[in-house]
A and B are shown apart, each in its own frame.
Chain A
Amino acid sequence: MTLLQLLDRLQSDPRLSSRIAAWKTIPARPANSSPFPDAVNRDLVRALHHRGIESLYTHQAEAFSAVHAGEHIVVVTPTASGKTLCYNLPVLNRILEEPDARALYLFPTKALSADQVDELQQLVKALNADIKTFTYDGDTPASARRAIRAAGHVVVTNPDMLHTAILPHHTKWLRLFENLRYVIIDELHQYRGVFGSHVANVIRRLSRICRFYGSDPQFICTSATIGNPKEHAQRLIGRPVTLVDRTGAPAGEKVIAFINPPVVNRELGIRADTLMEVRDLASELIRNQIPTITFGRSRLAAELLTTYLKDLATHHGRDPETVRGYRAGYLPSERRAIERGLREGEIRAVAATNALELGIDIGQLSAAILAGYPGTIASTWQQMGRAGRTSELAAAFLVATSDPLDQYLMTHPEYFFDQSPEHALINPDNTLVLTSHLKCAVFELPVDHDEPYGASVQAEIMRHLQSQQIVHDDGRRWHYVADRFPAEEISLRSASTENVVIIDETDPKPQVVGEVDLASAPALVHEHAIYMHLSQQYHVERLDWEQRKAYVKRVEVDYYTDAEIAVGIDVLSEDAGARGPFPRAHGDVVVTYRPTIFKKLKLFTQENVGWGQITLPETTMHTTGAWWVLPEVIARPAGPKQSPTWSNDRLQGALAALSHALHNIAPLYLMCDPNDLGRVHEIRSPHTGRPTIYLYERAPGGVGLAERLFRFHDELVKAAIDLVSNCGCEWGCPSCVGPVLEVGSSGKADCLTILSSVIASPEMSRPSSRGPEGRGDLLANEIASSLRSSQ
């Protein structure tokens, strides 16, 4: 059966078609080619012919011409539309004409850079020219580093290495910086939120160094589809950018279908299990050897799907080795082998997590099945983009879970198809981020009093650093005089890089089979967990938390384990507070993740066959948070004439709704990613003694978002009212106060009541009673706390 026949059956069989919540056909798009521009070196054209490239797609030609004209560009085109050629072509062309020219390639992850270097090197080989490309990252041996610094035409690295290893030692990279012509920033959309704000500052530092050596490189960026590629690129690199987004690459017809599993328990509103639906959907694809990828939202889902798909392959008489799993935690060599297998067609189906969402080259597949909504419109399109052939039909399925957000999409598919993808937001001028990078910048080169850094040098920040004896002012310039190496104290990604190693002790010689990051470890490798790796089950015999090691043995059981984690919050200190109608404060908090129990669930049926306690220390994270106490007038009515006190359930719903609304709107004001914040609410907070909602920073130590939340309180409340009252839903939806299942039928109305009562209060505009006074004080506090957390 072909994919077309499969799709027909899906639509015509009433049992199956009843599950279709949306069905959209995207027509085929013909190739739009363009001859090589005249400026392309003839040798390069010959080499491309040799690699089977006879002409360019229009977007590639457009990119080349814009770069040739001296513009900075951002290229936004779908997966596998040949976007690497958009930068390789101008770079190689320039090096052929100017053998001393240099280019710097920045990739957010190592896996990506390995792929792209490979492609570049193939082209260089076909070109038969003396062009050296090197990867410079943590794995580069010390002996090779000197050669790379002196002789690499193309240096491939990541922002972290640029930040800690290259810029602080720029004199060793003299040849690179003197001759730097192009900076390539691939996967631009990855640089958002805290990470993006840091990277924007790394690029400001890079630009300073280039100015010092007399070079002025052009930036060539590529991005997946996001709402604001041009604006985002301009903000990230601090320069005007030309947008190249009309793809010339051909695409076959593509069907996008939303599948909603049937309701199996009407009373409880429970739907059939998503993974089982995915399994049924994949069955015919596997039987007919149609190249398929499934995406699970968690590692567990990916591993379960791997098991199910392998089982299907065996059932249909296919080799189960043609089905593989793919997720973070597999060793790099395993991942490379799987990627190669997919490209070369030996592997026909893969069950992945979003680890495969990035631009990793696995060739093109015919079908993609998403087990649950990935969380953002942008990443949904990216995962669906994995299915797409240049000429043949492809299909992408989104199979809903019972989660409110998924159900919302099933009933409002237009929300997905009409809404533009999310905007990538960064704030390079975040005081804390800026302070960190000014320290690094002044370490790299003295900063002139009137030197522009980003918008301008913040003299206030420099004076603060001076009072800390980190910099010295000679009257004209600031010089770094502290004894410490600043870049090493500043992590671009904030998150910890610690992990737990998984050691298989089944055989006499123990073997490392994988790793999980520290934060996920309590849920995945607690004692008696069934850990799945490459669809082999392992029983966790013991978890040595101190040594960060989990000892496992291979087993074959018919169940898996699922851990529950409770999130709690404690206030350590209050940095500032304000009474007013909506009492609020911000300060240091400790967020506690406590694994409680795990359930043993039977494979295939999900039947609960047992449970156990997880005895692990809580993991705690020290960060900053902002919190709001429910206005007294609502929570505890003043007199008998007022409405009666809300029931706990109602209060719970109102708090959930309020925290959801503030969390929804906060990123817009903080210029951060929604994932940079977490939320908790308590009916009776031990700290305030009242119903309280908290928003806390997910980055350890915080980056100042909480303090901004506190400071932008008035705007935040107004925007939240707008958001909630303008939302077309009746009882609440994920776009405003959260789904009705979470907030209850009164949640939305109660949330609005609370917010409106705040805004109606005459105290709203009055200065807060004991809030911070001037901006100078705030800044000093902010900087002081950043210094504390970096020590």
Chain B
Amino acid sequence: MTTSDGFDIRTHSWPLDRVHGLRPLGDALHLGRTAGPEGNSIAWLDTETTGLAGGTGTYVFLIGIAAAGDGCVCLTQYFLRDLGAEPDMLELVGDHLRRFDALVTFNGTRFDLPLLQTRFLLCRMRADIEAESHLDVMNLARRLWYRRLGGYSMALLEQMILKVERFIDVPGWVIPSLYVQFLHTGDFDVLEPVFAHNAQDILSLVALHGLAGELLAQPDRTPVLVDWFGLGRLLDVRGKVEAAAGCYRVALEDERDPSVRRRAATALARHYRLTGQPEQLLDLWDHEAHTGIVPGWLALERLAMVWEWELHDPRRALAYTDHAIASINGDGDHCCARLLHRRERLLRKATTRSLRGPEGAEAISASEEIASLRSR
């Protein structure tokens, strides 16, 4: 530990074979690259503050920055012992951060980074920390686990996903008052758990980052429970469409929530449509029509769409549309209106096509007549 006027710098390192969560840290560093962020050298960052509300009156009193070192993960903790020393400390933190070109945080988008930005500005330092290449692991965690766990706080993820236990820890909301107590009494001991808390948060951040990368790289071999639809979406965004489709298929195996099921089926259908697999499309919606979780009329409507636009058969499409209209019960007027509109169009198409047969020109004018009669 080095001590300057008003602030301390502590360092700590963990060997790469130290297991935290499911994998050794070395594997996590490697696996995490799949999840991002773009950049050559990554720093993992977590802060402790005097408040959770944000704004200019919230100080960042502890900044933990971790990075891959020589055979280890090295953690540097900047601790503000004296509020008046903030500019001096932030200058060193700024120098430290400039050694990296990408950041990984947990909720940094909304909390840590804007707060640090504010602190730099208040100390009259122009920093553009919010514009750096940055991955917020919380965004990934929300997609991957929110629906499975009912939340995505770090504590919950450690308990349910990483399966790590904290032996001595302080809850996050107590930390601001411990720091104020330290300022008041000068009793440094009350802060020891806070340093440990920050270090543990960073370890779990590295592990979660690695796990997210692993899930994205090998979605077919997931070591933990996961929200398949969410994983599919993450893969889709990253252009891994085949793997995404696989996730949607798994999601549909046991998804009971109508709205999620509908979104998963729609996402999978989009994939089949873009890759030109109409049979799969028919199977998919046929299956949905029979499973009975997504509303029946909706699956039938989608079948009608496949027949109309993919397979160009307005008569079959019309039959499904009629079927869909018949199976609507109390699902709101706008769906019904949409189906009736489709029916009108299909009726026109169906008659046009049948009349545009061998009979020729005469028949066409007859169909126009029918159409104009209808429009009256």
A residues bordering B, Cβ < 8 Å?
168-172, 174, 442-446, 469, 472, 474-477, 479-486
Looking at the complex, which one of B55, B118, B176 makes contact with A443 (CB distance below 8 Å)? B55
Given A474-B84, A483-B176, the answer on whether A443 and B57 have CB atoms closer than 8 Å is yes
Q: Would B57 and A480 count as touching, CB distance under 8 A? A: yes
Query: How far is it, in angstroms, between the C-alpha of A262 and the C-alpha of B183 when the chains are bound?
Result: 75
Query: How far is it, in angstroms, between the C-alpha of A483 and the C-alpha of B177 when the chains are bound?
Result: 8
Nearest residue in B to A486 (C-beta to C-beta)? Answer: B57
B56 contacts the other chain (Cβ, under 8 Å)? Answer: yes
Given A174-B121, A476-B84, A481-B183, the answer on whether A169 and B55 have CB atoms closer than 8 Å is yes
| A residues in contact with B183, CB < 8 Å | 472, 481
B153 contacts the other chain (Cβ, under 8 Å)? Answer: no
Tell me the residues in window 21-51 of chain B with beta carbons closer than 8 Å to chain A beta carbons.
Answer: 50-51
Query: How far is it, in angstroms, between the C-alpha of A446 and the C-alpha of B123 when the chains are bound?
Result: 11
Q: Would A472 and B118 count as touching, CB distance under 8 A? A: no
Nearest residue in A to B119 (C-beta to C-beta)? Answer: A171
Sample of 16 further A-B pairs with CB below 8 A, known A168-B56, A474-B84, A485-B54: A171-B56, A171-B121, A171-B122, A172-B118, A443-B57, A472-B184, A479-B83, A481-B50, A481-B83, A481-B179, A481-B183, A482-B50, A483-B51, A483-B53, A485-B53, A486-B57
A-B pairs, top 10 by smallest CB distance, nearest first, are: A443-B57, A480-B57, A485-B53, A474-B84, A483-B51, A171-B121, A168-B55, A479-B83, A171-B118, A483-B176
Q: Which of B56, B82, B176, B179 gathers the greatest number of chain A CB atoms within 10 Å? A: B56
Nearest residue in B to A467 (C-beta to C-beta)? Answer: B184
Q: Would A485 and B55 count as touching, CB distance under 8 A? A: yes
Tell me the residues in window 112-170 of chain B with beta carbons closer than 8 Å to chain A beta carbons.
Answer: 117-118, 121-122
Q: Would A444 and B121 count as touching, CB distance under 8 A? A: no
| B residues in contact with A481, CB < 8 Å | 50, 59, 83, 176, 179-180, 183
| A residues in contact with B184, CB < 8 Å | 469, 472
B52 contacts the other chain (Cβ, under 8 Å)? Answer: yes
Say what secondary structure dominates the interface of chain A: mixed
Query: How far is it, in angstroms, between the C-alpha of A483 and the C-alpha of B181 when the chains are bound?
Result: 12
Nearest residue in A to B118 (C-beta to C-beta)? Answer: A171
Nearest residue in A to B57 (C-beta to C-beta)? Answer: A443
Q: Would B51 and A474 count as touching, CB distance under 8 A? A: no
| A residues in contact with B177, CB < 8 Å | 483
Q: Would B50 and A483 count as touching, CB distance under 8 A? A: yes
| B residues in contact with A477, CB < 8 Å | 83-84
Q: Would A474 and B83 count as touching, CB distance under 8 A? A: yes
Query: How far is it, in angstroms, between the C-alpha of A486 and the C-alpha of B53 when the chains are bound?
Result: 10
| B residues in contact with A475, CB < 8 Å | 84
Query: How far is it, in angstroms, between the C-alpha of A484 and the C-alpha of B58 when the chains are bound?
Result: 9
B residues bordering A, Cβ < 8 Å?
50-57, 59, 82-84, 117-118, 121-122, 176-177, 179-180, 183-184
Given A170-B56, A171-B117, A469-B184, the answer on whether A482 and B84 have CB atoms closer than 8 Å is no
Query: How far is it, in angstroms, between the C-alpha of A682 and the C-alpha of B18 when the chains are bound?
Result: 79
B280 CB → nearest A CB, Å: 39
A164 CB → nearest B CB, Å: 10
Interface CB pairs A-B, < 8 A, 19: A168-B55, A170-B56, A171-B56, A171-B121, A445-B56, A469-B184, A477-B83, A477-B84, A480-B50, A481-B59, A481-B179, A482-B50, A482-B180, A483-B51, A483-B176, A483-B177, A485-B53, A485-B55, A485-B57
| A residues in contact with B121, CB < 8 Å | 171, 174
Query: How far is it, in angstroms, between the C-alpha of A485 and the C-alpha of B52 when the chains are bound?
Result: 9
Q: Which of A172, A445, A475 gathers the greatest number of chain B CB atoms within 10 Å? A: A172
Given A171-B117, A469-B180, A483-B176, the answer on whether A444 and B83 have CB atoms closer than 8 Å is no
Q: Would A442 and B176 count as touching, CB distance under 8 A? A: no
| B residues in contact with A486, CB < 8 Å | 57
| A residues in contact with B118, CB < 8 Å | 171-172
Q: Which of A170, A483, A485, A486 gathers the greatest number of chain B CB atoms within 10 Å? A: A483
Nearest residue in B to A212 (C-beta to C-beta)? Answer: B122
Query: How far is it, in angstroms, between the C-alpha of A475 and the C-alpha of B183 when the chains are bound?
Result: 12
A435 CB → nearest B CB, Å: 16
Query: How far is it, in angstroms, between the C-alpha of A214 and the C-alpha of B132 when the chains are bound?
Result: 28
B101 CB → nearest A CB, Å: 24
| A residues in contact with B55, CB < 8 Å | 168-169, 443, 485
Looking at the complex, which one of B53, B122, B179 makes contact with A484 (CB distance below 8 Å)? B53
Query: How far is it, in angstroms, between the C-alpha of A480 and the C-alpha of B54 when the chains are bound?
Result: 12
Q: Would B180 and A472 count as touching, CB distance under 8 A? A: yes
B85 CB → nearest A CB, Å: 9
| A residues in contact with B54, CB < 8 Å | 485
Query: How far is it, in angstroms, between the C-alpha of A783 and the C-alpha of B159 when the chains are bound?
Result: 45
Nearest residue in B to A478 (C-beta to C-beta)? Answer: B83
| A residues in contact with B53, CB < 8 Å | 483-485
| B residues in contact with A168, CB < 8 Å | 55-57
Q: Would A444 and B180 count as touching, CB distance under 8 A? A: no
Looking at the complex, which one of A169, A476, A482 makes contact with B56 (CB distance below 8 Å)? A169
Looking at the complex, which one of B52, B56, B117 makes contact with A444 (CB distance below 8 Å)? B56
Query: How far is it, in angstroms, between the C-alpha of A602 and the C-alpha of B350 when the chains are bound?
Result: 70
B185 CB → nearest A CB, Å: 11
| A residues in contact with B179, CB < 8 Å | 481
| A residues in contact with B83, CB < 8 Å | 446, 472, 474, 477, 479, 481
Query: How far is it, in angstroms, between the C-alpha of A476 and the C-alpha of B86 when the chains are bound?
Result: 13
Query: How far is it, in angstroms, between the C-alpha of A489 and the C-alpha of B184 when the chains are bound?
Result: 24
Query: How far is it, in angstroms, between the C-alpha of A171 and the C-alpha of B114 when the chains are bound?
Result: 10
Given A443-B57, A445-B122, the answer on whether A483 and B52 have CB atoms closer than 8 Å is yes
Given A469-B184, A474-B82, the answer on whether A479 and B52 have CB atoms closer than 8 Å is no
| B residues in contact with A169, CB < 8 Å | 55-56
| A residues in contact with B84, CB < 8 Å | 474-477
Query: How far is it, in angstroms, between the C-alpha of A34 and the C-alpha of B306 when the chains are bound?
Result: 76
A75 CB → nearest B CB, Å: 34
Nearest residue in A to B179 (C-beta to C-beta)? Answer: A481
Query: How far is it, in angstroms, between the C-alpha of A443 and the C-alpha of B54 when the chains are bound?
Result: 11
Query: How far is it, in angstroms, between the C-alpha of A389 and the C-alpha of B284 when the chains are bound?
Result: 76
Query: How far is it, in angstroms, between the C-alpha of A442 and the C-alpha of B54 when the chains are bound?
Result: 14
Nearest residue in B to A444 (C-beta to C-beta)? Answer: B56
A463 CB → nearest B CB, Å: 13
Query: How far is it, in angstroms, between the C-alpha of A475 and the C-alpha of B52 when the chains are bound?
Result: 26
Query: How far is it, in angstroms, between the C-alpha of A445 and the C-alpha of B50 when the chains are bound?
Result: 15
B87 CB → nearest A CB, Å: 11
Nearest residue in A to B56 (C-beta to C-beta)? Answer: A444
Q: Would A444 and B57 count as touching, CB distance under 8 A? A: yes
A19 CB → nearest B CB, Å: 61
Q: Would A479 and B56 count as touching, CB distance under 8 A? A: no
Query: How far is it, in angstroms, between the C-alpha of A472 and the C-alpha of B85 when the chains are bound?
Result: 14
Query: How far is it, in angstroms, between the C-alpha of A171 and the C-alpha of B129 when the chains are bound?
Result: 14
Query: How far is it, in angstroms, between the C-alpha of A292 and the C-alpha of B82 when the chains are bound?
Result: 67
Query: How far is it, in angstroms, between the C-alpha of A443 and the C-alpha of B55 when the chains are bound?
Result: 8
Query: How far is it, in angstroms, between the C-alpha of A169 and the C-alpha of B51 when the chains are bound?
Result: 14
Nearest residue in B to A470 (C-beta to C-beta)? Answer: B180
B62 CB → nearest A CB, Å: 14
Looking at the complex, which one of A170, A171, A174, A479 makes contact with B59 (CB distance below 8 Å)? A479
A666 CB → nearest B CB, Å: 36
Query: How far is it, in angstroms, between the C-alpha of A475 and the C-alpha of B186 when the chains are bound?
Result: 14
A141 CB → nearest B CB, Å: 18
Q: Would B122 and A482 count as touching, CB distance under 8 A? A: no
| B residues in contact with A480, CB < 8 Å | 50, 57
B129 CB → nearest A CB, Å: 12
Q: Would B56 and A442 count as touching, CB distance under 8 A? A: no
Query: How far is it, in angstroms, between the C-alpha of A481 and the C-alpha of B177 when the chains are bound?
Result: 9
Nearest residue in B to A167 (C-beta to C-beta)? Answer: B56
Nearest residue in B to A441 (C-beta to C-beta)? Answer: B57
Query: How far is it, in angstroms, between the C-alpha of A472 and the C-alpha of B176 when the chains are bound?
Result: 13
Given A446-B83, A476-B84, the answer on whether A482 and B117 have CB atoms closer than 8 Å is no
Query: How far is it, in angstroms, between the C-alpha of A168 and the C-alpha of B56 when the chains are bound?
Result: 6
Query: How far is it, in angstroms, between the C-alpha of A333 and the C-alpha of B56 when the chains are bound?
Result: 37
Query: How far is it, in angstroms, between the C-alpha of A445 and the C-alpha of B183 when the chains are bound?
Result: 18
Nearest residue in A to B83 (C-beta to C-beta)? Answer: A479
Query: How far is it, in angstroms, between the C-alpha of A791 and the C-alpha of B27 when the chains are bound?
Result: 50
Query: How far is it, in angstroms, between the C-alpha of A241 and the C-alpha of B52 when the chains are bound?
Result: 41
Nearest residue in A to B120 (C-beta to C-beta)? Answer: A171
Q: Which of B50, B53, B55 gathers the greatest number of chain A CB atoms within 10 Å? A: B55
